[in-house]
Structure 1
C-alpha cells in the first residue's frame, strides 16, 4: 500500500497552520507504465517531494490549488519556501492506495474503490490523529466511509453542504468537508471551495475549545487576501 506523506512539521504549533492537524485526501495515483493495481509504497512521498522540488511539471495544479486555498493566498500564490512549509505541515494521502490508472483522466476501476481503500483511509486518520480532512473530489466524497454526517454544516453560494465525522478514538474524531477535485476545471473555483476550508478551521477551534486541550489555531501565518476572487486562468501559472 502507498505510504501517506507526513510533513516534518505536522502538528507542531509553530507550523504555518498553527498546529492544525490537517489531512489532504486525494483520490488516486496514476503511473504511466505500472499495471493498474500495482503496490508502490513510496509513490505518494515521491510525488509530494517532486512538487516541493519543482519537478512535477504540468501535474502540479492539484498541489498549487490546495496550498493557495488553505492559506488564502488566492491571487499571489506561495513562494517556493512557503509552499514547502505548507506541505511539511500536513498529511497527504490518496484514498485508493494502489495505482489506479496510467494517465490523468483514467477512472479507477470499481474494485479499487472497495477492499483495502476504506480500511486504509480510516486507519490513516487514526494513525495521524487528524483533526480535519479536506476531501478533494465529489465522487471520493460520496464513496469514502463516514461515521456521522453533520447536515447543513456550511454554505457555499446558495447551497448548503454536509460535513462528515471520521472517528479515530472513543472521544474524538476528524471532521471532513469536500471540494471539487483540484485537478479539474469544470465546476472548480476558489469561491466554491473557500467556505469548506473556513468551516474546517472553525469547527477545529470549536472542538479544541470544548475539550480545553489546546490554544486556538491561527491560520496561517502568511495569509494574504485582497478581498477579490482571482481569475481561474491565473491559477495555471
Structure 2
C-alpha cells in the first residue's frame, strides 16, 4: 500500500482523491528510469508545492480543481491540497510509461487492500478517478443521488461501512486523461460539501 498524502486540514472534509495507478518515470530528460517508492503519492503532491511546480497533467488538473484554478502561488496550491488526502488504488507500479494498464494480479492486490485503505484513512467521501478503476473496486451498497450527474455507471455512488460504523460514500468520476475536467472535479467536491455537510 502506498503511503498517502494527507493534507493538514483533511480531518475537516475527509475527502480522498483516488487515482488508479502509477508507473516508473524519469525526473528529467534522459534521466534514469525510477520505480515509484512507497511515498509516491506524497512526492506527487509535494512536486506541485515547489515554486515551479511539476508539469504532470493529472496532478495539475487536481490542483486546479482544489484551488478553483487559482493556483499561481505555493500558498494557494498548499491551501488546496491541505483539504484532501490522495493516493492510488493499485498498490504497485504498472509499467514504464503512461497508459499501461494494471494486470489481473495488480487489480486483485488492490481489491485485497481496499478495506485496509478505507480503515487507515477513514474518509467520508472517496472520489474514484477513472471508470476502469471504479469497475475494479469491491462493490458497496448502491446509493441514489439524482443531483450527481457523473459517469454512466449504475450505480455511480456506493456506500461502504468502516468497522466503527462510519459511512464512506464513493463517487465514480472520469479520469483526468479520459473525460474529466478540473471543473467537473471541482463541482463534485462542491456537491459533496454542500449536500453532505458534516
* Bin for the TM-score computed over the shorter chain: 0.7 to 0.9
Task: For residue 98 of structure 2, give the secondary structure of its aligned residue in structure 1.
Answer: coil
TM-score (normalizing by structure 1): 0.68
Hey, what does 2:74 align to over in structure 1? Answer: 80
2:141 to 135, 143, 148: 148
Gaps of 5+ in 2: 26-32
Contact 1:40 1:98 in 2 (8 A): no
2:84 to 82, 90, 93: 90
2:44 to 47, 60, 70: 47
| CA distance in 2: counterparts of 1:55 and 1:30, whole angstroms | 23
Shift of 1:110: 2.3
Task: For residue 99 of structure 2, give the secondary structure of its aligned residue in structure 1.
Answer: coil
| CA distance in 2: counterparts of 1:195 and 1:159, whole angstroms | 17
Tell me the number of residue pairs that the alignment of Structure 1 and Structure 2 aligns. 190
Q: Which has the higher strand share?
A: 1
1:95–1:153 distance in 2 versus 1, CA, 3 Å: farther
1:54–1:167 distance in 2 versus 1, CA, 3 Å: farther
Give 1:1-237 correspondences, 5 Å limit. 1-11=1-11, 19-32=12-25, 33=33, 40-53=37-50, 57-59=54-56, 61-71=57-67, 73-74=68-69, 76-77=70-71, 79-115=73-109, 117-156=110-149, 162-182=156-176, 184=177, 186-190=178-182, 192-205=184-197, 208=198
Shift of 1:89: 2.6
Shift of 1:136: 0.8
1:54–1:29 distance in 2 versus 1, CA, 3 Å: farther
Gaps of 5+ in 1: 12-18, 209-237
| CA distance in 2: counterparts of 1:191 and 1:88, whole angstroms | 19
Shift of 1:192: 4.7
Shift of 1:203: 4.1
TM-score (normalizing by structure 2): 0.80
Shift of 1:152: 4.6
Shift of 1:195: 4.7
